[in-house]
Amino acid sequence: MQLTLWTYEGPPHIGAMRIATAMRGLHYVLHAPQGDTYADLLFTMIERRDARPPVTYTTFQARDLGADTAEIFKEAVGLAYARFRPQAMIVGASCTAELLQDDPAGLARALDLPIPVIPLDLPAYQKKENWGAAETFYRLVRALSAPPAPRAARARRSCNLLGPTALGFRHRDDLREVRGLIARLGIDVNVVAPLGATPADLARLGEADFNVVLYPEVARSAAVWLQKAHGQPFTDVVPIGVGATRAFVKAVADLAGVDPAPVLDADESRLPWYSRSVDSTYLTGKRVFVFGDATHAIAAARVARAELGFSVVGLGTYARDFAREVRAEAEVHGIQAVISDDYLEVEAAIAAAQPELVLGTQMERHIAKRLGIPCAVISAPMHVQDVPARHAPQMGFEGANVLFDTFVHPLMMGLEEHLLAMFRDDPEFHDGVAPSHLGGRPHASPEPVAVAPAAAASITTPSAAAIAWAAEAERELRKVPFFVRGKARHNTERFARERALPLITVETLYDAKAHFSR
């Protein structure tokens, strides 16, 4: 393990909590020391849920380690059943309690409760949160899904929607969009799991004709098992972006044996038109760096390149279990994937790529802010502001509209900032002049502070040592458009360093421009 200031994923028991919190009628008893209850805040603070997760902690303390912590766990399981009366229960240990080797599975079986009790073996020092969510869902499906009865001939086909969880990036909104697409194809939704499902619902999974995997990180392993055990085919085409949504509709229609044309012909996405509009064409070729979980990172890179005309100069994920898929997508863009859960490595990769837009997690938003690059969040981990109260899906045709706004607005705001900076010293439009409809009289304002021509500023960037800039050169650099200013600074500093120039002047700036324009 590695100590770090930030982490992209929590330990696997956090993934198990995401499944338990998403479902109804399921309770999680977690053998954990006092202090591990911090996980509740992830749901009540970030997702703003109106109820705490359905989790009972043993919360043993240091003084309990000399006694029998196993008895503490058995007592917690009994009290949780008596209080909550769940349909089923999952039991396991946190990373700290794992070291005690109290065997939660055996202890729970010894209580002989009248409900299914599913033990979780989540190796906290080898695996992480997304794996924990996938393993928990897989164990629940194996334990609770009943063998399918012979499927009677029905007028309408049905499917299960698998993968949405608590604390998932826009899962609630994605589900609404996908349900709409499925309904318009004339297909019934049998069960949605784990979000909103009960253990009794999981027992009905085998009744569906096929499965739709919306988030492979969570549901692919369960879908593979359902295919082997119940003969249910599945699709894991993720409908993020116009092209992927159309491919998703065709894949689902093929599994159901229905005509996709009515849904495809009614495509209401505005992204294709917007991306070809006059307001958008100046964004063509913008350099973008994408990082996040595998599902959202791959989808964002495809949308950025194929549907918005951006140039993908960086692509990566912190989900090592899906490194193969991300590397394959990176090869399509002619780049090497960044597979890392170390935010410092990701920051160095972003600085080296010199993108004009970053699409990532909340981590990358902080990194981009330090580097002065526009950023949009497209993946967990996320902040409360990335869980909007309004409907804001990523999937489906409406999700494509949201993606267009998400990707383009940071660049549009950057252009506005550049225009404001460019006209700040204009005699007619500077900050001291009132609007023309108010007479244009200058505001009373203090005199600007004079800057000595020979003054030099020390600038540091994460990718280079400190370089001295003359004040005139700094002012000239600010005239460079917002989107390429970082690259201009980097190239100029590189030019100066290679020639051992002690100070970057205006002449150095223009010499560097001429050199790199050849």
**132 annotated ligand-binding residue:** no
Q: Where are the beta strands (DSSP E) in 309-365?
A: 311-317, 338-339, 357-360
Residue 480 has φ and ψ, to the nearest 5°, of -70, 135
Bridging pattern class, strands 158-162 and 357-360: unpaired
Bridging pattern class, strands 456-461 and 464-470: antiparallel
Q: What is the CA radius of gyration of the chain?
A: 27
Residue 469 has φ and ψ, to the nearest 5°, of -120, 135
Rounded CA separation 419/426 (Å): 11
3 state SS of 141: helix
- The rounded Cα 239 to chain-centroid distance in angstroms is 15
**440 annotated ligand-binding residue:** no
Q: Using H for helix, E for strand and C for coil, what is the string for 90-106? A: EEEECCCHHHHCCCHHH
Helices and strands (H and E) in the chain: how many:
20, 15
Partner residues linked to 315 by β-bridges: 290
Rounded CA separation 354/181 (Å): 39
What is the maximal distance between C-alpha atoms in the chain?
86
Rounded CA separation 84/113 (Å): 13
Partner residues linked to 77 by β-bridges: none
Two structure tokens written together for 356: 């004009």
Rounded CA separation 494/476 (Å): 17
103, 279, 386, 431: which is the annotated catalytic residue?
Answer: 279
**414 annotated ligand-binding residue:** yes
Two structure tokens written together for 259: 């005509």
Contacts of 100 by beta carbon, 8 Å cutoff, 6+ apart? 31, 65, 69, 93
Query: Sign of dihedral through CA atoms 102, 137, 322, 306?
Result: negative
3 state SS of 21: helix
**Cβ atoms < 10 Å from Cβ of 246:** 18
Question: Does residue 279 have an active-site annotation?
Answer: yes
Partner residues linked to 357 by β-bridges: 288
Task: For residue 218, give the nearest of 319, 89, 327, 330 by alpha carbon.
Answer: 319
Whole-angstrom CA distances from 2 to 27, 125, 141, 340 are: 31, 10, 33, 12
Counting Cβ atoms within 10 Å, is residue 440 exposed (0-12), middle (13-18) or buried (19+)? exposed
Binding residues for substrate: 414-415
Binding residues for [4Fe-4S] cluster: 36
Residues marked active site are found at 279
